[in-house]
Structure 1
Amino acid sequence: MKSKIAEAIKLNREPVAILWSDQKPEDAIQFKEGRWGCVISLLSQASKGKIAAFDEKTCGCVGGAKGLGFKDYESGEIEHFLSDGEKCEREGEFYKKNPEYARKFIKSLPDIFVSTEYVIFKPLSKVEANEEPKAVVFLVNADQLSGLVTLANFDRPTKDNATIFFGAGCHSTIIEVLNQGLSEEPKGLIGLTDPSARKFIDQDLLSFSLPYQRFLELEDEVENSFLTKETWADIKERI
């Protein structure tokens, strides 16, 4: 599957399709069971042409288990890890002022759970005709992000059709995007602002994610939009 959007914004990486499946692709890369790993590191690999797979035992971390949609956080330690670092064997992240704020944040996350054995990251070009992704993730620089935010607002009269949430990198690229897919007017999500995830992505990149049906809608708008006009041509030339 080719993307008009990717071509129009001069994307030098593949858009990544998020799929649910009961079959693991034979050539998929995957974390070893019980070993720590960041989901975003495999998202980056998928944008470079690899296929990645996750199941409940190979999520990489407890945040990845929630971000991928396999299971909820267990309370007790996580609210301290996100805040004051107490009751933790490792240093706390101090992303929330106190454990109570962290608990409320955790409760605010979408209740999106996988109904299949695997979550698959595939380069969009490798998605087969019989497959329907749940979402599409673009890894973009500032110029490309400006184009995607503008495109997300092109076919609606409103101004808030792209947004950004606090959360782990896998929250912003997966479960929050899948949750948007349940909305009547889904938004595009800017992500990878999580400092812990940024270590696994190039320093000039953020993510822009769309529920699959919204992605298809915007694919159909490319040729009628600013992406074919002079202002964007000037920006595209320097990308």
Structure 2
Amino acid sequence: MKSIIVEALKPNFETVAILRSNEKPEGAIQPLPGKYTCIMPFFAQVAAKGKTAVFDRETYGCSGAKAGLGFGSAYGEEMGGYDTFSAFFSKGLDSAKDKEKYKEIAENTNAHLRRKLLKGERYQTSREKAYKWMTKDLPVYNFTEKYVILKPLKDVTADETPHSIIFAVNPIQLTALITLAGSIREGINDTITPQGAACQMIGAYVFHESESSNPRAVLGMLDLAARKHVRGILPDDILTYAVPWKLFLALEEEAKEGVFKSPIWLDLFE
């Protein structure tokens, strides 16, 4: 599938489409069943190397990605449930409701995860706020389709309809996209920057926006943990800009005669 926006941006990385399907694409990369891992390196390989990645309910990587990909939520079920994750996302052992139980869970993990569990990721100021984020703030979906697929937009065929589109862009390209979105949407706050995991910034939060009559884009890769995992593939100045399919089509239409035809864009490349 060709894109006017992509042709104008000339990004160094592939623009990525998210699709849901009951058919598994051949030759796709996929996490191992039951293996605890970050899925953002899989996204990075799609963007940087043009691969296709696929995930299902046995290969979603980690608890955050289960929610991010639309396979439900594991926060209440895995690794001690909400009590563990509430402390993990805040101040670690210091925030734990049952410190002895929490410490026992931490001691039974690998060294890298143990360190994070004991110190806490500190994304939330308190156990209570972390619990509210998991149970109230984060949009959770459990789609009926078996697979979630990430593939380069250029490889999307005419009989496929993506759920959303993800641009991997530098600050100049991001500026153009935010300008483009602002040119067609009423009001302000055309792009949201929600707290959460990087996979949720290309998944769950975008799924939520797709339900709106006036959907917004979601700025992503604002997750320090994911940054470490993709650092060997994506440069530090690359952010994701994810848009629901409906918004992508509107942006494509405006791109024909919009900001990319403006001297303010063209002057950047003279």
Q: Common fold, TM-score beyond 0.5?
A: yes
Distance 2:52 2:151 in 1: 5
TM-aligned CA deviation for residue 233 of structure 1: 1.1
- Compare CA radii of gyration and give the structure with the larger one: 2
Unaligned runs of 5+ in 2: 77-81, 94-101, 107-113
Distance in 2 of aligned mates of 1:155 and 1:198: 31
Other-structure match for 1:214: 247
- Picking from 84, 88, 102, the partner of 2:91 is 84
- Specify the SS of the correspondent of 1:20: strand
1:105 is aligned, of 128, 133, 141, to 133
Q: Deviations over 1:108-151 (max 9, x none)?
A: 11132222110000100111111111000011110011011110
TM-superposed deviation, 1:213: 1.1
**Aligned letter for 2:91?**
D
Q: Distance in 2 between matches of 1:147 and 1:213?
A: 19
Aligned to 2:143: 114
SS at match of 2:172: helix
Kept in 2, the 8 Å contact 1:31–1:59? The answer is yes
* Corresponding residue for residue 135 of structure 1: 164
CA-based RMSD: 1.3
Q: Which consecutive aligned stretches of 4+ in structure 1 deviate over 6 angstroms post-superposition?
A: none
Separation (CA, whole Å) in 2 of partners of 1:112 and 1:154: 30
Give the TM-score of the pair, scaled to structure 1.
0.95
Query: How many matched pairs?
Result: 237
Tell me the equivalent position of 1:95.
Answer: 123
Give 1 or 2: higher helix fraction. Answer: 2
1:20–1:115 CA contact under 8 A, matched in 2: no
Is 1:159 the counterpart of 2:159? The answer is no
Q: Does 1:190 align with 2:219?
A: yes
* Counterpart position of 1:70: 71
**Deviation (angstroms), 1:94:** 1.2
Does 1:202 pair with 2:245? Answer: no
- Shift of the alpha carbon at 1:81? 1.0
CA distance in 2, matches of 1:125, 1:149: 22
Per-residue deviation at 1:3? 1.1
Aligned-partner Cα distance in 2 for 1:40–1:202: 13
Q: 1:51 aligns to what?
A: 52
**Which runs of 5 or more structure 1 residues have no equivalent in the other structure?**
none
Tell me if the contact between 2:209 and 2:244 (Cα under 8 Å) persists in the aligned partners. yes
Cα shift readout 1:166-205 (whole Å, capped 9, x = no counterpart)? 1110111111001100001000111111101111142111
CA distance in 2, matches of 1:176, 1:157: 20
Q: Percent identity?
A: 38
Tell me which moved more, 18-27 or 194-203: 194-203
Code of the residue aligned with 1:85 in structure 2: it is G
TM-score by length of 2: 0.85
2:8 corresponds in structure 1 to 8
Between the aligned partners of 1:41 and 1:166, the Cα distance in structure 2 is 20
User: For 1:122, what is the secondary structure of its paired residue?
Assistant: strand
